[in-house]
Amino acid sequence: MKVLKNEPLKNHTSFRVGGPASAYVIPEDADELKKLIIFLYKEKLSYRILGNGTNLLVSDEGVPGVVIELRSGLDGLELLDDRRDGSIRIQAMAGTLLSRTALYAYEHGLAGMEALRGIPGTVGGAVTMNAGAYGTEMRDVLESCEVITREGQVKTLPLEALELGYRHSIIPESGLIVLSAVFRLRKGDPEEILKEMQEYQRRRAEKQPLDKASAGSTFKRPEGHFAGQLIEESGLRGYRHNGAVVSEKHCGFIVNEGSATASDIYALIQEVRTKVLEHTGVELTPEVKMWGSF
């Protein structure tokens, strides 16, 4: 399998920041991944899993140990059999982009993933964090997923075993890696499916800073509130820390205008949290995952 030493992670994250990984490994398929995990477990070596890097902030110093990229090797889609209840299933490998999976569903006249079309991450990452948009979450379309354990065992877990909640699953805390996922969808009108996808895309482009380097929504939605609204009410629209800026277009996004470091982005996240707490009494929790030392 491909192994890169001291690979800059800024080349693999949507924030476009981040120092090197000591070893950056790209398995060619699920079998190679399994062998790698067994080897790392036996050698007691630490590792991290990288999908599309769209919900991740890596420190400027980078991270020690092994980073395993799934996007290149674990990529593929398959249409499965019809069910008696009229549903049709799609199996997607963990490294497959969720947007590509949603388009694949549309191409086969399958409804249910329209709102997920604009999420830029991989299937594995989306399942791990129960990604969602516009009222649809992964748990609404997911039937099961195949995972690999720390010891290299492959298991199939049904939806209910994943304990999916708001941006949560048992996958990270259990040390599991998603290999593939099966989605249960329904037959629909291709024209209507496409129309819905285009409408969601229009709404995204209208309200979100898609032309800037970011990691999507920076903060989780506080119960009873919207993070972007709280940030705006706290007078932080356009607030900056060097090249890191609270988006003028959507205050729930922190963007890299091109010159920001990971430290700049992290500092801005903390400043926003402090000021929002002081102004509104609500504590914001970052949705973005953080690797390394800050």
Model pLDDT for residues 239-262, shown as the tens digit of each residue: 999 999 999 999 999 999 999 999
Long-range contacts at 196-204 (CB < 8 A, ≥ 24 apart): 196/114, 196/115, 197/102, 197/106, 197/114, 197/117, 200/114, 200/115, 200/117, 200/118, 200/133, 200/134, 201/117, 201/118, 203/134, 204/118
In angstroms, rounded to a whole number, what is the distance separating the alpha carbons of residues 126 and 128?
Answer: 5
Average pLDDT, the chain: 96
Lowest mean pLDDT among 43-52, 83-92, 109-118, 216-225: 83-92
- Compare 1 and 262 and report the one with higher pLDDT: 262
- DSSP secondary-structure letter at 12? G
Interhelix angle 98-107/190-207, rounded to 10 degrees, is 150
Lowest mean pLDDT among 51-65, 71-85, 144-158, 168-182: 71-85
How many Cα atoms within 13 Å fall on the side-chain side of residue 77?
A: 19
- Please determine, for residue 36, whether its predicted confidence score (pLDDT) is greater than 80: yes
The domains found in the chain, sorted by start residue, are: 2-69 (3.30.43.10), 77-207 (3.30.465.10), 213-282 (3.90.78.10)
Contacts of 251 (CB under 8 A, 6+ apart): 227, 228, 229, 231, 232, 236, 237
- Three-class DSSP category at 124: helix
- Please determine, for residue 177, whether its predicted confidence score (pLDDT) is greater than 90: yes
- Please report where in the chains the tokens 């009222």 appear, as a residue: 135
pTM of the model: 0.93
In angstroms, rounded to a whole number, what is the distance separating the alpha carbons of residues 72 and 52?
Answer: 10
Residue 87, pLDDT score: 79
- Please determine, for residue 86, whether its predicted confidence score (pLDDT) is greater than 90: no
- Please determine, for residue 20, whether its predicted confidence score (pLDDT) is greater than 80: yes
200-232 pLDDT tens trace: 999 999 999 999 999 999 999 999 999 999 999
Active site residues: 167, 217, 287
In angstroms, rounded to a whole number, what is the distance separating the alpha carbons of residues 104 and 79?
Answer: 9
Residue 81, pLDDT score: 77
Phi-psi region of 166 (alpha: psi -120 to 50; beta: other; left: phi over 0): beta
